[in-house]
A and B are shown apart, each in its own frame.
Chain A
């Protein structure tokens, strides 16, 4: 028996002192219009803010945004903290402008996957692709994607 898409709940937000909010706001809009139940934490969140919200809302996934280039410092130990909070298996997704140095994408992706993120997105990924990946990762069937915004 498969769950309906609105039964999947997601926690979204920007981690650290970063105020860049445009990317995550578009994603939240797009995710809601796809049908997901989205709990938005906005800017200025710690790892514990995400984890507390995930426990409270029994979330299926945490989507972390970081545009300032300090992601490595900010998400270090995220998976371990989830494990300590008994949500060790939750889907962790990371996107934005993650590093300040120039390096091959494979290196960046590998670094954050080793830190326990299940999905690490390239800078400038478009909403459609990010949502497709999320549907695959959470095993959600595609035909439920038919909602449109009110305009």
Chain B
């Protein structure tokens, strides 16, 4: 696909990885966080040239004191447009002005990747969903990265228009097999599934696709997985989701015989519009950091104070993570447990029965084959997303907030839900309608989506 692919020599790659200190490996470090009850930090970062990317990651390590860093892959490379990315990279190197929105992993080759890894003491993960990251993984993992965040379903929902999901899953099976191969040679690889991005989405809309990604990866030999808990800001609902996610991922893995797969959790606040005022963003970063510690997750990502305006600077990112770090450091040692709270339990209950309903239907449609079932379920709208870029998705489901700001189903589309689930969501929406004195409608759906950027969990109506 591109000449740098020839630099990949797996034997040499295993040797390189075996020479790293154990805690420079992302899986080992995530397991260390689990063992010690710590919540560690991981920013999303990527620059185009080696000098710029290395400088940024070192700054994060030394100044923001984060425990993990990431190589965010530029979007040209993610779409396999290596020729154009390579020309742009050359311009960036010649002029010193950035040209790409991330690190072109393929174009830098194995050697270039190792220049980054060698300059750091902490694990580096590849970041960025895309339908075909096979060559990026061959080069990026041989180059010393020890994990990846993304997955076939998030890539399908949010990064394609007409690519069939089977094709994307096929590409990811290759990546997962490669990770499994590293595991078999004593190099743990951390695979962070991502499922689907939320947009006023009841959590089961993220959990079902993520557990599918977990099962697809387990089948190919991936042994260390991280569950990406997309939090949306409603404490009870977010915590209930995290609890349910851990429980169901473990249960489905065990059911299919993958008892040796190790699970950790990651959480990140949502994408979408952010407040423009930095003071408000500091408030949000602290809020989400507290949520991550209360959810007992191992790794937390964060938005940054300046991303509403431009690609975050290293100073902006460092300020944001120092803010997150302060909140984490205050709360961590307290081991304050709120997961048995009644509201959390109620949210966990509904998230669990909804997710189960979707997964069982997928397995039924595929005759216990998760891949076949997933393709069939998407075609029927049994798996669905409200705002997908893909034309192959039904996009019938839609979420709206209830009176407390939790995400509920405004439209169930073709989701395989029973009367108990439907009645719960309807009653929660009815409570909000009583408070606001009118029916919930599409105008409110829109206002809910922008509420946080306007300064609160619920919009002013």
**A residues whose Cβ falls under 8 Å from a Cβ of B:** 19, 21-22, 25-26, 28-30, 33, 40-44, 126-128, 149-151
A42 partner residues in chain B, CB cutoff 8 A: 161, 389-391
B425 partner residues in chain A, CB cutoff 8 A: 151
A151 and B426 in contact, given A42-B161, A42-B390, A42-B391 (Cβ under 8 angstroms): yes
B119 at the interface (CB under 8 A from A): no
On whether the beta carbons of A126 and B161 are closer than 8 Å, the reply is no
Total interface residues on B, using CB and 8 Å?
27
B199 partner residues in chain A, CB cutoff 8 A: 22
Q: Which stretch of B104-112, B214-222, B278-286, B437-445 is in the interface? A: B437-445
A-B interface pairs (CB < 8 A), number: 59
On whether the beta carbons of A149 and B398 are closer than 8 Å, the reply is yes
On whether the beta carbons of A22 and B429 are closer than 8 Å, the reply is no
28 A-B pairs whose Cβ atoms sit less than 8 Å apart in the complex: A19-B389, A21-B387, A22-B387, A22-B449, A25-B386, A25-B388, A26-B446, A28-B395, A29-B395, A29-B442, A33-B442, A40-B391, A42-B161, A42-B389, A42-B390, A43-B389, A126-B442, A126-B443, A127-B441, A127-B443, A127-B445, A128-B441, A149-B410, A150-B412, A151-B409, A151-B411, A151-B412, A151-B422
B413 at the interface (CB under 8 A from A): yes
On whether the beta carbons of B411 and A26 are closer than 8 Å, the reply is no
**B residues whose Cβ falls under 8 Å from a Cβ of A:** 161, 199, 386-391, 395-396, 398, 409-413, 422, 425-426, 429, 441-443, 445-447, 449
B447 partner residues in chain A, CB cutoff 8 A: 126
The smallest beta-carbon distance between B245 and chain A, in angstroms, is 24
A151 and B389 in contact, given A22-B449, A25-B395 (Cβ under 8 angstroms): no
The CA of A151 and the CA of B432, in the complex, are separated in Å by 14
Query: Which residue in chain A gives the minimum CB-CB distance to B75?
Result: A19
On whether the beta carbons of A151 and B410 are closer than 8 Å, the reply is yes
The CA of A25 and the CA of B391, in the complex, are separated in Å by 11
The CA of A51 and the CA of B252, in the complex, are separated in Å by 48
The CA of A30 and the CA of B390, in the complex, are separated in Å by 19
Listed from nearest, the 3 A-B pairs whose CB atoms lie closest are A127-B442, A149-B411, A30-B442
A44 partner residues in chain B, CB cutoff 8 A: 161
A127 and B446 in contact, given A21-B389, A40-B391 (Cβ under 8 angstroms): yes
On whether the beta carbons of A151 and B429 are closer than 8 Å, the reply is yes
B422 partner residues in chain A, CB cutoff 8 A: 151
A151 partner residues in chain B, CB cutoff 8 A: 409-412, 422, 425-426, 429
On whether the beta carbons of B387 and A25 are closer than 8 Å, the reply is yes
The smallest beta-carbon distance between A151 and chain B, in angstroms, is 5
A41 partner residues in chain B, CB cutoff 8 A: 391
The CA of A22 and the CA of B395, in the complex, are separated in Å by 11
The smallest beta-carbon distance between B417 and chain A, in angstroms, is 10
B390 partner residues in chain A, CB cutoff 8 A: 42
The CA of A115 and the CA of B322, in the complex, are separated in Å by 50
The smallest beta-carbon distance between A35 and chain B, in angstroms, is 14
Query: Which residue in chain B gives the minimum CB-CB distance to A29?
Result: B398
The CA of A40 and the CA of B162, in the complex, are separated in Å by 13
B411 partner residues in chain A, CB cutoff 8 A: 29, 149-151
B387 partner residues in chain A, CB cutoff 8 A: 21-22, 25-26
List 5 extra interface pairs beyond A19-B389, A25-B395, CB under 8 A.
A126-B446, A149-B398, A151-B410, A151-B411, A151-B425
B389 partner residues in chain A, CB cutoff 8 A: 19, 21, 42-43
The CA of A42 and the CA of B422, in the complex, are separated in Å by 29
The CA of A61 and the CA of B251, in the complex, are separated in Å by 50
Query: Which residue in chain B gives the minimum CB-CB distance to A31?
Result: B442
A150 partner residues in chain B, CB cutoff 8 A: 411-413
On whether the beta carbons of A26 and B442 are closer than 8 Å, the reply is yes
B449 partner residues in chain A, CB cutoff 8 A: 22
The CA of A29 and the CA of B161, in the complex, are separated in Å by 18
The CA of A115 and the CA of B442, in the complex, are separated in Å by 30
A126 partner residues in chain B, CB cutoff 8 A: 442-443, 446-447
